[in-house]
Structure 1
């Protein structure tokens, strides 16, 4: 049997299984799962770019809301010796799958101790570690404004000065919810959008549009200032993408 075909079929089977798992978990709780399909390869690549451009320097990386692991798989090959990856996933079924993914990943031969999966919420992550890059897969627009503020405050606290937070937001969700959701739900979504817009004005260094995802998404890069919040000027951002 052709080896490439066997490997290709194995990858397709894995992705199909993950797609079904994602749908099942979305049916359990769409608010915290956040989507009906795992992140695409194109979205994963955009989210992990800050890690890729700093390689091969050893980095401390945090991935929050990893789901079934499509972004994790993009991160693992980028981990140089001396790097560390902490993965935070609150869903116990996703967390178990992520541990299996880490244990069997060929890029980590004899180095699986570089990666730790934490089954918890990022706001409750008990660590003194500070990170060079945080990759967030959390569905922020599904949370209430108070939760979003806590999560974003925690992200900035966990970053080294000059560190990068990368996250995505689906296109068109505010308009869709305005048309289909209750008035209270539309107000909640608008309040979260306003909170995130304030963080973008203060910390954004770039935004990219990823059309090859279901649904399409913007990917944002935010940077913690090198100086204190009181001394740091607001980031200048022209909204240009690529």
Structure 2
């Protein structure tokens, strides 16, 4: 496994504004915001690596839980001609900021319309599109286990066979909750970890540690098999044993 790390850098005004907005939204609802700071550059780069790895061929990309857009800003310059980016964000204030980001992004002026913001939950996204890469910023460890199961199943359904899902998980959250949370909350967190571990055993192609983030995080890449849905479900069931 590789480690991603960058040297400290001056935080530009946009990133400072994003951090303040994250703090405000976290105060409103930490369960859906999931963090107190947006993803740093090193984490955004690790999450978007599957897009860069596929070179210049046109791709269909889905970003879920985009927040204030730090990963979106890393994704847009990587889109080759003919690519498509769908952005899913349920928080209306974040969605409005993402629309402004897309409308004013210089890399999108020649090809307006290839990026769309959907203000909805990914489970409710109305589309027949299948994606080569899905980048997830959802705070999965904040959700109930059955909701995590529905989201992960939806991700695999939305991927082309052979497509890649990339997502992150903060380091040390289970230990921290075991020390500070109620028993019920600790059990919920452990159950979510079990759901994710089954998907990792069945589909993971790699895991990287990003130390230059607040807080540090693991980035996982999962791949939808190039086999039938029935075979994929059988593989996942075996991973849960």
TM-score (normalizing by structure 2): 0.91
Query: Which residue of the partner structure matches residue 160 of structure 2?
Result: 160
Aligned to 1:70: 70
Paired with 2:217 and 2:16, the residues of 1 have a C-alpha distance of 22
Alignment-derived partner of residue 185 in structure 2: 185
1:14, distance to aligned residue in structure 2 (A): 1.2
CA distance in 1, matches of 2:229, 2:170: 28
Output the CA distance in 1 between the equivalents of 2:112 and 2:184.
45
Q: TM-score, structure 1 length as denominator?
A: 0.91
CA positional deviation for 1:110:
2.4
Separation in structure 1 between the aligned mates of residue 145 and residue 22 of structure 2, nearest angstrom = 25
Classify the secondary structure of the residue corresponding to 2:82.
coil
Return 25-34 or 102-111, whichever deviates more: 102-111
State the shift of 1:111 in Å.
1.3
- The equivalent of 2:55 in structure 1 is 55
- Give the distance between the partners of 1:171 and 1:83, measured in 2 at CA: 33
- Residues 1:114 and 2:93 are matched in the alignment: no
Counterpart for residue 213 of structure 1: 213
CA–CA separation in structure 1 for the residues paired with 2:210 and 2:154:
26
Structure 2 SS opposite 1:54: coil
**What is the RMSD computed on CA atoms of the aligned residues?**
1.6
1:223 aligns with 2:223: yes
Instruction: Measure, in 1, the Cα distance between the counterparts of 2:112 and 2:122.
Output: 21
Q: Which ranges in structure 2 are unaligned for 5 or more consecutive residues? A: 1-8, 237-241
Q: CA deviation at 1:231?
A: 3.6
Please tell me whether the aligned partners of residues 61 and 86 of structure 1 are also in contact (alpha carbons under 8 angstroms): yes
Distance across 2 between alignment mates of 1:34 and 1:139: 5
How far does residue 80 in structure 1 lie from its aligned partner after superposition?
1.1
Runs of at least 5 residues in structure 1 that lack an aligned partner in the other structure: 1-7, 236-242
